[in-house]
């Protein structure tokens, strides 16, 4: 796909976020902020013990952070937890499909960082994503 198709997808996800909301109760919930800007993402997940059965995100932030979190929820819904744990920064960048400048990298990875923190129960260092 061309860059413009990916840009459209990011705009679409930021304007019409998928899986936006909260789950109460959830099997795990985590939230974090981008320390550079104060933007926040919270992710709530339900599992059947092996797979992600439901996922919601909430928060506020720039188009990239919100679109990336929305895309991430679509990537992981229904997938085994082991596969979700293996999602890398490169996988997230591939899903976004457009070059992400170093200044926006924390925006693009905020949702993934929060999701992994929820799964592992600790916040991973950025380099570990």
Binding footprint of ligand FES on the chain (CB under 6 A): 34, 37, 39, 61-62, 64-65, 107, 110
Closer residue to ligand FES (CB): 60 or 85: 60
Return the residue nearest ligand FES (CB atom).
107
Tell the smallest beta-carbon distance from residue 67 to ligand FES (Å).
10
Between 19 and 34, name the residue whose CB sits nearer to ligand FES. 34
- Nearer to ligand FES among residue 81 and residue 105 (C-beta): 105
Query: In this complex, which beta carbon is closest to ligand FES, that of residue 52 or of residue 65?
Result: 65
Work out the burial of residue 6: count CB atoms within 10 Å of its CB; fewer than 13 is exposed, 13-18 middle, 19 or more buried: middle
d(CA 84, CA 115): 9
Cα–Cα distance, 43 to 71 (Å, whole number): 13
Both tokens assigned to 126:
């950025």
Q: Give me the least distance between CB of 40 and ligand FES, in Å please.
A: 9
């Amino acid at each position: 796909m061309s860059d413009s198709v990916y840009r459209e997808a990011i705009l679409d996800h930021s304007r019409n976020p998928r899986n936006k909301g909260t789950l109460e109760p959830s099997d795990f919930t985590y939230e974090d902020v981008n320390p550079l800007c104060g933007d926040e993402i919270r992710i709530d997940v339900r599992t059947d013990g092996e797979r992600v059965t439901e996922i919601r995100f909430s928060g506020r932030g720039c188009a990239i952070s919100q679109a990336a979190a929305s895309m991430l929820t679509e990537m992981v819904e229904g997938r085994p937890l082991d596969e979700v744990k293996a999602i890398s920064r490169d996988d997230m960048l591939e899903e976004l499909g457009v070059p992400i400048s170093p200044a926006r990298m924390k925006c693009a990875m905020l949702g993934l960082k929060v999701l992994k923190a929820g799964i592992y129960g600790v916040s991973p260092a950025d380099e570990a994503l």
